[in-house]
Structure 1
């Protein structure tokens, strides 16, 4: 009968590993000991870790701590791993050791086995390429896992979030221009206020997102400093001179990121304050997006019995029982993502403040929540922009009706007849069902021609020159 497993060993003894698996004993132990949840590390994190292993192999060769053929075999193994291989070879759950040691060893074992296979050896032999002695040379989980956290976050921001945000910001710029001459009633406390242009509202949304993006970029800049070469607890034990600089240089080349070694790599092992700050910046973005989506949802409420000032694209039926109903589903999806991001950020911040002594042991949770937040926000922003924002239209008739009926236009009279007289006009108009002009005339507080001259909604949207 054909065996469905092979026997591998580690420092704790023998382990049965599936015959076709490219991982080894330590990965198998983790699979058996941490059967918790379904969450695994996303491909972008594994790709970042592969780049680290490749850069370290190159740096080790240049520092004469790794033979050329071994270094080349490691590099080729890293390059050969595809997206499909990532799902197949890296099955470990997020919920494991808080240092990420088992994921580091998963990388070491898979790379070693692929390299050995290419050199004619069987998986599990650890010859000629050893997972610890060669693939992990001049490294520790203490430094490589945080480096992968930094790099994968920077890549996710660069490749996912920033492009999505830029498209939304540009669309808001277009809408602000398109709506710049549409005067509408403003609202505070969900009550009528003085006029504003629809363009001014959308320019505000634009500025909110621009500021949020800058906060994220400023925080992310700190992540370009990586603890490579710090090895265990940041001491740099077992690394040759110049290793950190060489590894960072090669990592910059492989990832197209501008990276440099940290002056004190222990900082990125004992604490993850930058990730706490980034969680805050992502929450700030989520807050801005939540506000924008809710505003658009409110202004689009109706179509006949709500505010109805915006016409949202009709993408799909909104009810299984009410025929013809269409709902603001893109706003709903975006606000759900914002709420989820806020929760993930709270968990991340709690994890960041929970480190002890030389190592924060919440690393898998921190990077999982960070990358999940970035992915969710990126996807939701893109969906909202393409399926709602671009096709948004102003309902100028409804906007005009609301503007004409508003009592708060009386605010323009305050400098001329005083606050109390202006309030009397508004209250009289509301109580007796009159227009503001009719109430002003009845009360005799201002001449009709002066009223028409002063109460001009367009003029009320900007300071007088």
Structure 2
């Protein structure tokens, strides 16, 4: 039999026993009972952003003489504690919930009210002195505070992700320079193609990540436009016109962000395209990253039976049964992160479409997936950069050997020998095992000096140079 001390709280539905120590109240308990869905708590960044919204609202309501300063001051103090990460164990509602985020909003309102009561030296649950709805939620609705908090949380996580992506891009650029002199076999259709420099491949990786950064930066800017003050449907009912202007100014001061009130609050309350745009940018980046990791895993495959063109830093033993095996685990984890982000984007797409009339009630699942995507992409890219890209090395000897054994250089010789002659040389090489160079010299088709010039790494892998060389040969002929 439990001996835990409780207090009784009631709402218009009935009564509930609440642990006496708890800052949360009856509406939070109802949400916990109703939505035991994921077992995953609301993202910390969303909680602290919501606390910032409550602080700005309380400051504004006091400034407009709507909220008694005695009550407003303790709400502000409690909100500041939440912004610092205090009392998070009292924010107990599930990430996915019905009600468009009302449970999140009320969990915060109850925590701030009860902590405020404590600061006022009143008993928790004695809401006459500081009420979750009347005081903490004054001039607000779930429908404007939760979207505003989500935009702030997503923006902050996006800024962190952008910094991490820029470090990855820098790492790729350094490898572009480091590997610039490594000539290897290029591949199309997973078959030998013309030569390419390993540095050129990594330069391409740096550039696609650069475009991903640009897409994310563009989408991120839209998050700074908020609907705070819209209240329930965008009409601002129960909020003074002055409040709508001032609360955004105060929230900008509280967060340090250049927030702007939406030009049309009805539009901003109905539509969730800013989240969809951000998620789409994350999905495109995830596709780019997964493709890059597929390349890296293939180039590092082996060491004896694969390409073995890259050496990845060993991070952990690769098998419980095969001694000495090392796997490309950092690339593999990015593949899996990418798959999750792509799936999250599909969920966000469906949720954004599912709104009706003045509100999209699917906000919790949008928040759950969007914030997860931002978090896991940042964490994944961070370890991939540090533990794979920065420490990887080119297997120069292996690249040179494969290049020597490959028939791909025949393409560089094609303009000088003609397609039919070049094809006959490849056929003979396949039959005899001799190199292309040996056969060309044996037939007297080119001099050793001409071969050396045509097959020079820069000649074969730099756009324009091969064509210039071919024209010079034609002029001599």
TM-score by length of 2: 0.93
Give the corresponding residue for 1:195: 195
Q: Quick check: 1:26–1:102 contact (8 Å CA) kept in 2?
A: yes
> What SS class does the counterpart of residue 388 from structure 2 fall into?
helix
> What SS class does the counterpart of residue 185 from structure 1 fall into?
strand
Q: How far is the alpha carbon of 1:10 from its aligned partner? A: 1.4
Give the corresponding residue for 2:102: 101
Q: Against the structure 1 CA distance between its residues 138 and 404, is the aligned structure 2 distance closer, same or farther, given a 3 Å change threshold?
A: same
Give the corresponding residue for 1:343: 343
Give the corresponding residue for 1:238: 238
Mapped partners of 1:144, 1:153: distance in 2: 14
- The alignment covers a number of residue pairs equal to 464
Give the corresponding residue for 1:140: 141
Q: How far is the alpha carbon of 1:23 from its aligned partner? A: 1.0
Q: Quick check: 2:96–2:368 contact (8 Å CA) kept in 1?
A: no
Mapped partners of 2:274, 2:292: distance in 1: 27
Q: Against the structure 1 CA distance between its residues 43 and 13, is the aligned structure 2 distance closer, same or farther, given a 3 Å change threshold?
A: same
Give per-residue Cα distances to partners, 1:113-154, cap 9 Å, x unaligned.
Answer: 110111011111113211111111110001111101101000
Q: Quick check: 1:245–1:260 contact (8 Å CA) kept in 2?
A: no
Mapped partners of 1:308, 1:44: distance in 2: 42
Task: Spell out the pairing of 1:166-315 with structure 2 (5 A cutoff).
Answer: 166-315=166-315
Q: How far is the alpha carbon of 1:322 from its aligned partner? A: 1.2
> What SS class does the counterpart of residue 186 from structure 1 fall into?
strand
Give per-residue Cα distances to partners, 1:197-238, cap 9 Å, x unaligned.
Answer: 111111111111111011011011111000010001111111
Q: List alignment gaps of at least 5 residues for structure 2.
A: 469-477
Mapped partners of 1:38, 1:342: distance in 2: 22
Give the corresponding residue for 2:33: 32
Give the corresponding residue for 1:438: 438
Q: How far is the alpha carbon of 1:83 from its aligned partner? A: 6.3
> What SS class does the counterpart of residue 391 from structure 2 fall into?
coil
> What SS class does the counterpart of residue 458 from structure 1 fall into?
helix
Mapped partners of 1:123, 1:168: distance in 2: 49
Q: How far is the alpha carbon of 1:437 from its aligned partner? A: 2.1
Q: Against the structure 1 CA distance between its residues 18 and 70, is the aligned structure 2 distance closer, same or farther, given a 3 Å change threshold?
A: same
Mapped partners of 2:422, 2:62: distance in 1: 82
Q: Quick check: 2:319–2:326 contact (8 Å CA) kept in 1?
A: yes
Mapped partners of 1:43, 1:95: distance in 2: 14
Mapped partners of 2:3, 2:119: distance in 1: 24
Give the corresponding residue for 1:419: 419
Q: How far is the alpha carbon of 1:74 from its aligned partner? A: 0.7
Q: How far is the alpha carbon of 1:444 from its aligned partner? A: 6.0
Give per-residue Cα distances to partners, 1:53-75, cap 9 Å, x unaligned.
Answer: 00011111122221222221110
Mapped partners of 1:326, 1:119: distance in 2: 61
> What SS class does the counterpart of residue 120 from structure 1 fall into?
coil
TM-score by length of 1: 0.95
Mapped partners of 1:123, 1:424: distance in 2: 91
Give per-residue Cα distances to partners, 1:351-401, cap 9 Å, x unaligned.
Answer: 111111111111000011011011111111111111111111111100110
Give the corresponding residue for 2:406: 406
Q: Quick check: 2:407–2:436 contact (8 Å CA) kept in 1?
A: yes
Mapped partners of 1:288, 1:296: distance in 2: 13
Moved more, 128-137 or 80-89: 80-89
Give the corresponding residue for 1:75: 76
Mapped partners of 1:98, 1:365: distance in 2: 11
> What SS class does the counterpart of residue 375 from structure 2 fall into?
helix
Mapped partners of 2:27, 2:103: distance in 1: 7
Give the corresponding residue for 1:392: 392
Q: Quick check: 2:453–2:459 contact (8 Å CA) kept in 1?
A: no
Give per-residue Cα distances to partners, 1:169-223, cap 9 Å, x unaligned.
Answer: 1111211111112222211111111111111111111111111011011011111
Q: Quick check: 1:43–1:86 contact (8 Å CA) kept in 2?
A: no
Q: Quick check: 1:46–1:86 contact (8 Å CA) kept in 2?
A: no
Mapped partners of 1:11, 1:213: distance in 2: 50
Give per-residue Cα distances to partners, 1:8-27, cap 9 Å, x unaligned.
Answer: 11122222222221111111
Q: How far is the alpha carbon of 1:447 from its aligned partner? A: 5.2
Q: Quick check: 1:196–1:461 contact (8 Å CA) kept in 2?
A: yes
> What SS class does the counterpart of residue 409 from structure 2 fall into?
helix
Q: Quick check: 2:51–2:83 contact (8 Å CA) kept in 1?
A: no
Mapped partners of 2:369, 2:352: distance in 1: 12
Give per-residue Cα distances to partners, 1:266-307, cap 9 Å, x unaligned.
Answer: 223322111111111101111111112121111111112211
Q: Quick check: 1:98–1:360 contact (8 Å CA) kept in 2?
A: no
Task: Spell out the pairing of 1:84-123 with structure 2 (5 A cutoff).
Answer: 85-123=86-124
Q: How far is the alpha carbon of 1:442 from its aligned partner? A: 5.6
